[in-house]
Structure 1
């Protein structure tokens, strides 16, 4: 792996044929959706990006099982005049699938908070804190990964400050929700984020060298209900 601060491991079934996403320095990248089971029996439908170079010996079609290791990547795209943060699992290795694998969805991240935590309590009393984590990678780039914490972890995370470094373990998840429109109607949308199971602070100086969010990502609307995947350009 290129970075130890950003690791994802997924095993699931490809839902649809691979589609061309983009080309970078002569290398073509393809995108698709991976259906990954949760331990609870529910399923996540996750966007993934794969280089053509990984497909030479591993032709993948709809219905194929896929086990990958890679990184969570983000990029910004202007949609309907507003900046949107889009997330994808970027495959760096294709592995042999093991049917009896205990946990088919694992994420480990180390990064710095680039926005204040957003803490709230649901009508049923469940505590939640949303975090935006900046994870630096090579060539002066950063990936901005939305994370959601629960319960005691949410209370702890609510006291974190911009620049605080954290390490976390969780899963990459899809979450369906409805966005209320001004005319009173609701729009069905899907958010992609890391659901955090363990979180701890890194005991060193707060990070101030991560690359700041682009201006179009500064508004709250750019981070709330705006994690819809529409292709990938890592």
Structure 2
């Protein structure tokens, strides 16, 4: 059953570590740490992806900043309670974490596959330049009755196709993880620069 759950949420990234390891939490004596990995797009833009890794996979006491890494795992979410409401926090949970030799930027990897269910009505819109976009929230089942809630963004024909999905629709998605900066208004006089993470969809299929 655990293997089946792993198959419906698969991530592969290869990039450069751009932060030190920072402690996150401990489960049954196993410590988990956060680290940030940069991955170059073909457009020369860089995505900065948060990764959670066990201290049993890598020596978290030594800095790996500037080193290249190959990671496979899952894109996971949890709700963090702040400002009297819940905030969805996303990161890659590493199952494999391998430091590798230097690689060319064009060989950087950023791939994700999701098999899940639409859990919120899709939002379809057009940009001022006429580009079609659809925002989806996909629930992907995990072991022990848990689910991960993954924001996804579709473009063009995929956006128009996805805009017709009903809540509960079973879908499969292929794409990449992207980071996006935005400004959050936290009070009448204060704003914060934040980073959102989502799946940019390259292919989507509706399953009966």
Give me the TM-score of the superposition, normalised by structure 2: 0.90
1:169 match: secondary structure: strand
* C-alpha contact 1:19 1:31 (8 A) present in aligned 2: yes
For residue 181 of structure 1, report the CA deviation from its aligned partner. Answer: 6.1
Superposed displacement of residue 95, structure 1: 3.8
After TM superposition, the structure 1 stretch with the greater mean CA deviation from structure 2, 176-185 or 74-83, is: 176-185
Cα distance between partner residues in 1 of 2:61 and 2:207: 38
- Partner of 1:63 in structure 2? 66
RMSD: 2.2
**In the TM superposition, what are the counterparts of 1:1-234 in structure 2 within 5 Å?**
2=3, 3-56=6-59, 61-95=64-98, 97=100, 99=103, 102=107, 104-180=109-185, 183=188, 186-203=191-208
1:221 maps to none
Structure 1: which 5+ runs fail to align? 204-234
Aligned equivalents of 1:56, 1:187: Cα separation in 2: 33
Summarize the Cα distance change of 1:59–1:8 in structure 2 as closer, same or farther, 3 Å threshold: farther
Q: For 2:20 and 2:99, how far apart are their aligned partners in 1?
A: 20
When residues 58 and 38 of structure 1 are mapped into structure 2, their CA distance, relative to the original with a 3 A threshold, is: farther
Which protein has the bigger strand share?
2
Partner of 1:208: none
For these two proteins, the number of residue pairs brought into alignment is 203
Distance 2:45 2:192 in 1: 23
Check 1:97–1:40 CA distance in 2 against 1; reply closer, same or farther (3 A cut). Answer: farther
* Kept in 2: contact 1:170–1:196 (CA 8 A): yes
| Residues 43-100 of structure 1 deviation map (CA, whole Å, 9 limit, x = unaligned) | 0011100001101599652111111000001000111111100000000012464725
CA contact (8 A) 1:49 1:89 kept: yes
Distance in 2, matches of 1:178 and 1:126, equals: 22
Runs of 5+ consecutive residues of structure 2 not aligned to the other structure: none
Scaled by the length of structure 1, what TM-score is found? 0.80
The CA deviation at 1:190 is 1.3
Q: How many Å separate the matches in 2 of 1:29 and 1:192?
A: 20
Q: Give deviations 1:111-157, integer Å, cap 9, x for gaps.
A: 00111101111122111111000000111100000101111100110
